[in-house]
A and B are shown apart, each in its own frame.
Chain A
Amino acid sequence: MNKKTVRSELAVKLKQVSLATPLLTASGTSGTSDEINDLENSPQIIDALGAFVTKGVTLEARSGNREMRVVETRTGLLNSIGLQNSGAAVFVREELPRLANYNLPIIVNISAGQVDEFGRLSEFLMEHDHDEAIAGIEINVSCPNICAGGVAFGVDPRTVEKAVRAACQPLRRDVFSLTKMTPNVTDISEPAKGAIAGGTDGLSMINTLRGMAINVHTGSYYLGNKTGGLSGPAIKPVGIQMVHECYRTIPECRRGTVPIIGIGGIATWEDALEYIMAGATAVGIGTAWFVNPNVFVEIKTGLETYCRKHSTTITQKIGSVHEI
């Protein structure tokens, strides 16, 4: 649970949990346990974070996709990691206790291939989280890299609703839920409404966009999995629009009862603020931190300076573009 109770211009609230800053790690980009502690500036990084979002956890261990799992594209990254993880049992036994060292609210990103599997996974986590280390779960209904038939079920509002309901049902009272939305849809607000109907406390958007890269020198695909998910600065405008759209069209988002975590391509404090102005309460940063391990610290400092200069707070800026 959150042991930092900082009152500052950066503090935001996700349901009952207050975050010291609006900065979150994006799932799958910050490690399986306490890798951050191996960095020299880990105290500053952890200080800059409001919460830690884990790599995607599945009920059973997954070895992930075959090799050539990443390829860099212009201002972006295509990945097909394929949710490699040691499974929920190892997660609760070995990884979760080490994550607790961060002294941050821990949000566990969960993935499953079927609706009822979400329920079982969520139940398993609750049963084995003896120290109540889990502050929230993030229901990933959108991973483009594992779903059979290639269509993530995050595109269908009814399926999303069922998956979210299944995942939320076993949760402890004090554990909140986020639903990680896929951008590979025509209208993001439809599955978002499904997630809200299913009982989600908040929305995370966006996951990666489906993409592909071909190596013209060899004439074959770059990725072992052929297709992957695109992240990084290349996708930011898509994410901004989707956050904006949900905030604009969904009353719960507008009222702040269903907060949005804006994710996708954030690399500077301006990018983060852009998401906040579009309607995000907090933001997740993934790919940028592969490039710049100081990114969280730099963004925190940037936002702080901005708030002081304009005598404002992050909370006041949420969705501010809609007031115009």
Chain B
Amino acid sequence: MISPTQTAELDCYLRVMAHVFGGDTTHPESITWDTVPDIMPARLRDACGDFADGDIGDVCADSDRNRRTYYSFCLALIEQILKQDGWRLSRIDNTRIEPGTFGLSSAKGMDRSQPDTAVAVFGPPGGRQRLFFFFSDQDPTILADAAIKINENDNDRFEDLAVMITLSTRDMQARREASRSTAWKRGLFMAFDQLCERSAETYPDLCLPIENMFRDSVLSKPAPVEPARDKIASFRARILDHIVVGDKDSPYRKLRFEAPELAGIVPLQFIMSATRPRASAGGVREFSWQAFKTSFRDAPATYLKRPFGIHRAFHKGFPADYLTRLRLPRHVATILHPVRPDTFEVFFKVLPTGKGTREMQDLKKDMMIDMIGPLGQPFKLAKLIDQDIGEVHVIGGGVGMAPLVYLVQALRFCSVPVKAFIGIESLDHLRYRLRHEQHDLEDEPLARIHAAEGKDIHIYVDDLLQTGVERNNIYVSYDKTGDIRDIVPPANHMQGPISDLYRRSLTRHPFDKPVVAFTCGPPPMMQAIHEITRHVGIRLYVLMEKRMACGIGVCLSCVCRTTSGRSGYSRVCKEGPVFDANEIIWHEQENSPL
């Protein structure tokens, strides 16, 4: 005989499955014992025998109830995950969920009178931040309205957040589209399959089978065709701003551009960009001496695109410094997604003998530039964060710090503690000022403040502060002294190589929890960092830079000697640009001037 609790649980599984499988189209009658036991926790399997096939269909006939059960099921999973971060379920609207089903005993006795669309509210211990969960199959306009209302009440405090739970990752991707995110400003997204996957770690008995079921069925069902976002796109980006960073002789530039095509780019992936607007195509033209002369003088010196890392990414509705206020529970954060970014920045250095980067000095607002991306292997950040690391170190030399800032942005989203080590020639190179007359400051609240107060901005330092890294976790080393006092604490800066500063900062090891480091810069610097991390047991990832022609893995010009690559070489543009430092055959890296 099965107990009443068991009956209720079985009932719940059947309904969730009916909802996930069926939606409105298929018939719950088709669900039989052949499929059901797959999703049952082991402890319930024996009890299944008491149900006959016919009963199952009966149980699932009420699709409205199935849906509500699915909602409560999701919330139960979320509750399980959040518990690990010490968050608790503080209020629930019972009109939308099914009371009495498993996992939601806490819902009992809640106020049933508020017909809110907000389904559940969670709060951290002692904190004020709350997450409101919505489900994607509810009326989309109600959801958008609710999210907007939350925003309005909250201003830019980021204490209340709307989270939409979608039935599948694909569904979520479609809703996260940059173009659609205006209706769901500042909202976050979560997909049911990812939720199951995450819960499986805390609640294996409950979720693993569901995850498998989901993989095999729902995800493989033909869904509305959505362009696969991680494929490499070739597109034209609009330049939004070109900012000179540093004093007037500084070679550093920041280029801000609009490219919804890069919405799916993962930190540390890169793009290849033309260095001038595309010349009109054409064959041989009729000869004119004048044209011949100008064509020689103006003949473009560059032919290939140039590789650049992404320095920062911007989301509509999310101000640039939102991470300083957003405190997400870490265990949920890895499966939470903000709206897709559509605006990006690259930070680059004009090389004294560089043909392409010198051309790029002439890029201006509203020019359209050919680009391809996202390029390179997407680094599996979620996997890294799952490993419960204590902290992440990023060590960047010169422009090498630029892509690491975007990485930090992502790490901070998941509340990972970060220490940043910046190696530069002179701080004067990194100081700049934005003026309202010249630049669009809308996305730069800090820049707005700085400009109003007539203060300088420091690239990297202020960017990192904007992502919520604390000032005393930012370290700077430089070749030439400059005015550095008030930017980072005195103990955090020194003259000399960045590797010395890094070594000096690692006083406390062994570490309680694993530490992971990322570095990007000149190869000798990265090798020196590897020497250090090797000795103290820090796992190090390096971003390699090699000359590229195609960027898509077909020409074999960007190869790097590794232990993992075929014929002893890996393509930086395809297998890279991120490599485990232990894979790199350092003594065979040719330090020929690039």
Contact = CB atoms under 8 A, between A and B. Distances in A.
B547 to A, nearest CB: 6
Contacts of A79: 549, 555, 557
A266 B143 CA distance: 53
Interface string B231-261: 1111000000000000000000000000000
Contact of B569 (A84, A224, A290, A294): A84
A31 B228 CA distance: 21
A156 to B, nearest CB: 28
B36 to A, nearest CB: 37
B555 A29 contact: yes
Contacts of A63: 567-569
A61 B554 contact: no
Interface stretch (B302-310, B338-346, B420-428): B302-310
Interface string B519-559: 00000000000000000000000000011111111111101
B567 A61 contact: yes
A86 interface: yes
A68 B547 contact: yes
A77 B556 CA distance: 14
A78 to B, nearest CB: 10
A254 interface: no
Contacts of B302: 72
Majority secondary structure of chain B interface residues (helix, strand, loop or mixed): loop
Given A67-B559, A75-B303, A232-B303, A292 B234 contact: yes
A16 interface: no
Contacts of B283: 268, 270-271, 274
Given A232-B303, A292-B234, A64 B567 contact: yes
B1 interface: no
Interface stretch (A38-46, A120-128, A134-142, A184-192): A38-46
Interface string A41-77: 1100000000000010000011110111111111111
B256 to A, nearest CB: 23
A264 to B, nearest CB: 14
B370 interface: yes
Main SS class of interface, A: loop
B491 interface: no
Contacts of A70: 547-549, 555, 557
Interface string B292-331: 0000000111111100000000000000000000000000
Contacts of B304: 72, 77, 290-291
Nearest to B229: A40
A211 interface: no
Interface string B349-373: 0000101000000000000001010
B593 interface: yes
A224 B592 contact: yes
Interface in B450-475: none
A177 to B, nearest CB: 24
A293 B555 contact: no
B554 A29 contact: yes
Interface in A210-237: 215, 217-218, 224, 232-233
> Which 8 residue pairs spanning A and B have beta carbons closest together?
A270-B283, A31-B554, A70-B557, A40-B231, A290-B550, A67-B590, A293-B234, A63-B567
13 contacts: A28-B555, A29-B555, A38-B552, A40-B227, A40-B233, A63-B569, A64-B559, A69-B557, A74-B301, A267-B281, A289-B550, A290-B304, A291-B305
